[in-house]
Structure 1
């Protein structure tokens, strides 16, 4: 299956990245010579996505100008200038710009490098892994040793078939959520239209036995502070050297 639409979360204030984010939105901070959001958009385009809703708030004009210049995706702006909706509310609002087919949801400030050349991409594999009959959500996951910039905390435990439970409840086979998941829009039909955290729907899916994960290929990066920029760029240099 090819998933042809996506929601990209890009509206946050990036407070931990100050003073950089005093003058620009975090998704436009360049890592390895490329704005963070472009790693996300490039991976979506590579996987066959045709349309993406992107929410904006912090320095929204800068975000809109950059997205207008990005080629290869039909990008729709989900405008949160009037007030941030947190990640859950942001997804719900963005879904109103898309159709009712399966979507990817991705963060604009989390990305990965080092996928195997010539092999199906992480998002290609995730699209093939997601089964709406047995899953509410299917998310990319990564081993903590294959991350840069992470806080050192595991999010979930993964069963042999990919079913996920909270790591705090089950200490076996720990994994980190890598900032991308696939789902059917109707899973959020009962969600509030006000700000809320999407974690509540991760827990809902766990309660139904329908949250699944798939291990990603490559190395995952999160850049949360100005000091983390150098660490991320060194990781990218190392991967490019040995590619």
Structure 2
């Protein structure tokens, strides 16, 4: 199993924090987001990880070089941003015909994702991939989905004024081996494409939904970053207290 961590973005909404730091290296409880994801993927059994870079790429390269699991990590530098789907096209040889997680590295996820992996293996026979879903208080700013009785996505509404609910795409996928051939093979290399615009609408009816089983936050603004920091501290405090009680 492989994984792609999308980590090249400029993080403009998170300024001034990202004026000197790429968003993927913003720390949560003293651990960079990228490190949290790498550790999670290793625990999940991922054998190879590809990380795309662009903004402050030298910082990302230095962090990965010092990481204990760097032997399983490949870096892919983009001179110009290719978009979330464009990156997948450019690195198709890494993941095509494989089971592969595709993750935006600027999200904070407290789930182990073990439940998502199990759901993917047990997904409906006519589906090609699994998408993490979460309930959002701001559905107008998200991609909102509607599911059928089998948890297969039947509608996808990307940032519309009056969305039909608050169940949102977390932009975290597990792709089955057929995904590249069915949804990406007609896209041209070195072009700009986005998953939410150029891929996901074509997967409606073939994409299984999985409701996340723990906190999931887009670290897009200073406010959401502060919220993630507070959650991480609360979790760490609870874990320490539980450990003390058990001792």
| TM value normalised by structure 2 | 0.82
SS in 1 for 2:170: strand
How many angstroms apart in 2 are the aligned matches of 1:232 and 1:40? 14
Matched, 1:92 2:89: yes
- The question of whether the paired residues in 1 share the 8 Å contact of 2:108 and 2:219 is answered with no
Measured after TM superposition, the shift of residue 95 of structure 1 is 2.5
SS in 2 for 1:191: coil
Alignment of 1:68-217 (within 5 A): 68-72=65-69, 74-80=72-78, 82-98=79-95, 100-113=97-110, 121-130=114-123, 133-144=125-136, 153=142, 155-164=144-153, 165-167=155-157, 171=164, 174-183=166-175, 184=177, 185-187=180-182, 188-193=184-189, 194-199=191-196, 200-206=198-204, 209-217=205-213
How many angstroms apart in 2 are the aligned matches of 1:127 and 1:68? 32
Partner of 2:15: 18
Deviation larger for 121-130 or 11-20: 121-130
Partner of 1:219: 215
Specify every segment of 5 or more residues in structure 2 that has no aligned partner in the other structure, as ranges: 240-247
How many angstroms apart in 1 are the aligned matches of 2:110 and 2:142? 21
Q: Residue by residue, what CA displacement relative to the aligned partner does 1:106-135 show, whole Å, maximum 9, x if unpaired?
A: 1101131155xxxx724432442456x512
Measured after TM superposition, the shift of residue 42 of structure 1 is 1.9
Instruction: Rate the CA distance shift 1:178–1:125 in 2: closer, same or farther, 3 A.
Output: farther
- The question of whether the paired residues in 2 share the 8 Å contact of 1:139 and 1:177 is answered with yes
Partner of 1:229: 225
Identify the structure with the greater helix proportion: 2
- The question of whether the paired residues in 2 share the 8 Å contact of 1:106 and 1:179 is answered with yes
| TM value normalised by structure 1 | 0.83
Measured after TM superposition, the shift of residue 171 of structure 1 is 2.8
- The question of whether the paired residues in 2 share the 8 Å contact of 1:7 and 1:53 is answered with yes
Instruction: Rate the CA distance shift 1:129–1:158 in 2: closer, same or farther, 3 A.
Output: same
SS in 1 for 2:94: coil
How many angstroms apart in 2 are the aligned matches of 1:20 and 1:170? 31
- The question of whether the paired residues in 2 share the 8 Å contact of 1:157 and 1:175 is answered with yes
How many angstroms apart in 2 are the aligned matches of 1:227 and 1:56? 25
Partner of 1:32: 29
Instruction: Rate the CA distance shift 1:218–1:227 in 2: closer, same or farther, 3 A.
Output: closer
SS in 2 for 1:155: strand
SS in 2 for 1:96: helix
- The question of whether the paired residues in 2 share the 8 Å contact of 1:8 and 1:106 is answered with yes
Aligned length: 228
- The question of whether the paired residues in 1 share the 8 Å contact of 2:144 and 2:163 is answered with no
